[in-house]
Structure 1
Amino acid sequence: MSQEITPEILKQYQENLQKHPQAASLKRAVMNNGILAASENTDAKVAMTQTFSVDLTAEKVADQKQSGRCWMFAALNTMRRSLADQFNLKDFELSQNYTNFWDKFEKSNYFYENVLSTATEPTSSRKVAFLMATPQQDGGQWDMLTALIAKYGIVPKSVMPETYNSSRSSELNSTLNLKLRKDAVTLRQMVATNASETNINTARNQMLNEDYRILVYALGEPPVKFDFEYRDDDKAYHLDRNLTPQTFFKKYVGWNLDDYQSIINAPTDDKPYNHMYTIEMLGNVVGGRRVQHLNLDIATFKQLAIEQLQAGESVWFGSDVGQSSDRKVGIMDPEIYKADELFDVDFGMTKAERLDYGESLMTHAMVITGVDLVDDKPTKWKVENSWGDKVGEKGYFVMSDAWFDEYVYQIVINKKYLPADLKKVTEEDPKVLEPWDPMGALAGR
């Protein structure tokens, strides 16, 4: 059905606008202040106080600066909490640059793997276009970080600190993606001309050798062995010599990474609850742990987060942070802006509709460190962000329970909190989703 906007129809729209209550004053308010400021609901700010019935000890927030490594910061921040408690090291940080180095190196190899697996498809195919759109980026998911740690371990931030390129990643990403796309041309041409597997592997190894050099120049070379020298919060001196990244992780964090399960809440028709899902072409470590999600209803989803918090353990989570969020004051609440009232337009969509129609997906990972329970029901949640201490309350945000319902898509839970029937579900073979499925979105803001 086709409909042209005729002069007569346009005139009717103009007349209808003039009849709208307070149209002139609302136009001035929006033109001079912007949509958000003109629709701000101060009552929502008053309700979102930084007081919680369950509140884990606050650590000094980290700062990812001008990079998209939130998923990495959030994961390492959950791990540093147990380290800080055990070794009396408040405000201690693990090296985000170390995991960043290996992530980019492994993502390069993962890209080559996918290029070769799709080499016989035309460049116009959706999968090839998807690959070439972003060969690698800063963003990621929980299982991708655990794949890196399982292979490479972790180190203190003092051993591999930040660099210009880790904190301001755009130059490195542009350079590396240019290199990877050029390599894709070479690999696809070799497949098209029936090059031998030996010759393809030789070319691929040379490409990875060059990638490694680029990353060392930009991020520094990862340590193989190091000494961990520090003073704890009681000023006692400690020196632990000849550690490897793997032995450091085992001794100072000591988690069994297999104990932790990614849980999603995706209420779309293609993902029935109480089943496992994975995403084609999503990952970073070839041969490593793959991304797998257990999809649960929102009530069970939230209850698991509460139980883990009550046990004294923070919760990694992924959400769409740009929705109904005031970055400066650190409030996430669907009621904070009233654009529907301002424009007299219904903007309402269900969570499933927003996922299906591209309005929302996971964009940012943070850490839940508290919850306010009233009559055993959550009303708001405390969130540790990784945007430094100049936003929110020294870097901590408040998330309303209603915002949790609508915009939180993923949490990571220790399997010991799962009931027996759900533990059994985690053992099933996951359904493979398309590469562009919203549950394959990478947290990277």
Structure 2
Amino acid sequence: MRISIIGAGPAGLFLGAALARRGHAVVAVDRDGGPAADGRWDRRGVMQFHHPHGVRPQVGAALRAELPEAYDAWLAAGAEPITFTLPDGRRVSGGMRSRRETFERALRAVVVREPGFTVRQGHVDAVAIADGRARGPVVDGAVLPSDLVIDASGRSGRATRAYGPAPAPAGDTGIAYVSRQYRLHDPAAPGPMTNPLAWQADPDGYQVVVFRHEAGIFSVLLVRPAGTLRDLRHDAAFDAACRAVPGLDDWTDPDRAAPITPVLPGGRLHNRYRPQPGIDGLVLAGDAVCTTTPMFGRGLATTMMQARELLRLLDRGTPGDFGAWCDAEMRPWVDDHVRSDACTRLLWTGADVPDGPLPSSLVLAAAEADPRIGAFCGDYLAMTAGPSALAAAEPLAREVYDSGWRPAPSDGPTRDELARIIRTAVPA
């Protein structure tokens, strides 16, 4: 087939090369021209490119299965495999320590050399539809004739926005964040970790996550209710916050690490699921299908899960089944985030644990009080099973909360205290 892909991010690059290896003629179109001659790569319009990602095992597994050369290039660029033990005793892959930029550079460097796959710089205005079928993307005013169009343009893509049902659930989570990248001084060791992927603290009214990357690089993520702690976008205020939060002060101690980027504002966050448009020859993939807030680091994993399933269905000649698969396998993750994020935002206001079924975030937290809950968490945390894997643990968690137990806030200033601290750090 002649296949056109809108977007040359992780989904577009991975699918493009994998489909070319199956004998298809593939063109991926993206406004971004790739890294500049001096190596700089701003990726304008892709806010999350420089923000932290949790790179789960689904990403490496997809590369090893379809593009092993890209996996080897990623390792050569410094990516570090992680293994850890689940609560049930199983030893499993925990993914990779890597920045998204490092992953995407390695992937792009390999796939642009793939015969039958072309990455073209241009702007996709729309998709031409005739007789109920997609005929190709309209690139800079001209139709690129195609037998199949894959929209991998991400959450902000506009080319197919008018087709099919509206995203659901759609809306602002009321949560925003800022991040910054650091590098450990040689030979300084990493700071504390609360799980194999990251260090996390939940003081009263906000959240802090440190993601380890490759070559001693790490990112600090400060998550807050939208409209609060706005001064964190200033480097001096961010530094003051890092000094004020126990554990984070260890990670960012100037004697052990130095920032390598300014503070990166992340904007307000959305959880969104978009059903397939129901137009022959047009498929959505990656972030065009679903986006979730970054605290659990699921974005690259859901993208690669989709890509591998789409490849499987195309190999079978049944791409029309992809919509039902996404409804069954991807939407539950979005719904899971909607419920957990709404609960987090509620608890940040000082409210108590809500009535009714508990969101996943509270089920996981209750494992601290009832170790039996941990036995149900492993597949959910590894994303080898969907959120329904926690259903059997929810009654146990409800018993914990009905007993009066509540997770204690992490050490550190409250949100109001942190606001005062960072306000004094920003010149009037």
User: Could you tell me the TM-score, scaled by structure 1's length?
Assistant: 0.23
TM value normalised by structure 2: 0.24
**Higher RCO (Cα < 8 Å, 6 or more apart):** 1
Normalized per residue, the structure richer in strand is: 2
Higher helix share: 1
